[in-house]
Amino acid sequence: MKFRNRVLAGLVLVVIASLAMTVGSSAAPKNVIRLAHDQTSDPYDPCHSFAVVFKSYVENATEGAYTVEIHPSSVLGKERERLELTKAGAIQVNLASIGGLSQLYQPAILLNTPFMYNSDRVVAAVLESDFVKQLFADMEKKTGLVSTCVFEIGGLSCLTNNIRPIRKPADMKGIKFRAMDDSQVAMFKALGANAVPIAWSETYTSLQTGVVQGQVNPVSILLNSNIYEVQKYATISRTILGGHWVVVNAQWYKKLPADVRKIVDDAFYYSKLAAAGVTQVVQATGFQALKDLGMQVTPLDDAGYQEFRRLGRTAVLDWSKAKMDPALVDRFVSTVDAIEKRVEGK
C-alpha cells in the first residue's frame, strides 16, 4: 500500500508538472479549466455531452477569457488517480463514477444501491434532494473536494452476460460478473452469481477473454464502449443508477471571481439538463440498436424486478450498514421511499 501511494504521489507530481508547462507556454490561454472523465468522446455519450455543454457555455459566457479542455477516456488517469489530481489542482473538474468516488468518500456508494429506483423520475428527484446536498457538504468537510451535482449517464443500468437470458434471480446462478466495487460483489452474491472486482478500463478485455462473463451498465455505455461486441444477452433490469458525480478543486472554485463562478454554476446546471436529455434519447433508441447489433434484449417484468429488489437491495443495504453509519443508510432509504410515494403515488 505504501509503495502504491508513493507511485500515485509521483504520478500526481508528474502530471501537475506537465500540465503546468502547458499552461506556461505562450500559446496557451491564461485561464484553463481541465475537465476529465472516463467515458468516450462520442457527443451522444451523456457523460461527454455534459462536458461539451459545459465547455461551450463557459467559453461563450466568458467571451473566451476561460477555455475548457476536455480529457475523456481516462487519459489523465484512472478513477482514484483523477480524484487525487483534482485534489492537487491539476484537474479543475472531474466527472467521477459513483463507485470510483466511493474509494475516497464511501457514503457516495449509497446512490448506487441496486434496485432502489422504480423510474427515472424517482432518480431525478433523489439527485436534487436535501439528502444528496447533505452528502455534498459532508464530502467537502472530509475530503476537501467540492461537489456541484450528480447527473445521469444513460438511465438505470442493464445486466448483460454471455451465458443465458436473465428473467429471474435463478438465472444468475453460476455466472461470473465484473463488479465495480465491494457493494456489487455483495449484490451478485445475494443473487446467486459470482463476482470479480475489475477496473472499468479492463472490463472490455476481461469480457472478451472470458475472465468474466457478464457486467452491469446503462445502455449508453453498452453502445459507446462497444460492450455489445463481447456480450450476447441484455436484460432491461433497472439495476443501478447510471450516474456520475461532479467534483471540483475547492481552492480553484472558491477563488473564481463571483461573476465567473456564477457562469460555471450555470454551466453545470445546463450540462446536467443536457446529460438527462441525451439519457432519454439513448434509452429511447438504444435497446433497438442493441438488437440490431445482435444482442438478445429481455425486459424484466414487475414480478421479476421485485424478486431482484428483495434479494439485491436488501443485501447491499445490509452491507452498507456494516460499512458506515446505519442511521445515514436509513435516512437514504427514507428519502427514496418518500420521493417514490410523492412522484409515483406508491
**How far apart are alpha carbons 254 and 267 in whole angstroms?**
16
Q: Which residue has the higher pLDDT, 13 or 140?
A: 140
- What is the arithmetic mean of pLDDT over 308-316? 97
Q: How much is the pLDDT for 15?
A: 40
Shared domain for 45 and 121, answered yes or no, is yes
Confidence of residue 30 (pLDDT cuts 50, 70, 90): confident
- What is the arithmetic mean of pLDDT over 327-342? 97
**For residue 292, what are the domain limits?**
158-240+285-344
Q: How much is the pLDDT for 16?
A: 39
CATH number for the domain harbouring residue 30? 3.40.190.170
Final residue before a domain boundary, out of 255, 283, 311:
283
User: DSSP character for 222?
Assistant: H
Shared domain for 125 and 231, answered yes or no, is no
With a pLDDT cut of 90, the percent of the chain lying above it is 88
Confidence of residue 322 (pLDDT cuts 50, 70, 90): very high
Q: How much is the pLDDT for 345?
A: 81
Q: How much is the pLDDT for 29?
A: 52
Shared domain for 109 and 177, answered yes or no, is no
**Whole-prediction pTM:** 0.88
> pLDDT per residue over 80-114, tens digit each?
999 999 999 999 999 999 999 999 999 999 999 99
The torsion angles phi and psi of 228, rounded to 5 degrees, stand at: -60, -20
**How far apart are alpha carbons 121 and 279 in whole angstroms?**
12
- What is the arithmetic mean of pLDDT over 171-185? 96
Shared domain for 224 and 261, answered yes or no, is no
The torsion angles phi and psi of 10, rounded to 5 degrees, stand at: -65, -40
How many domains would you assign to the chain? 2
Evaluated on CA atoms 2, 77, 186, 129, the torsion sign reads positive
Shared domain for 306 and 275, answered yes or no, is no
Shared domain for 148 and 67, answered yes or no, is yes
The sheet with strand 296-299 has its strands ordered as 194-197, 176-179, 214-217, 158-161, 233-236, 296-299
Shared domain for 262 and 309, answered yes or no, is no
Q: How much is the pLDDT for 43?
A: 87
Asked if residue 26 has pLDDT above 60, the reply is: no
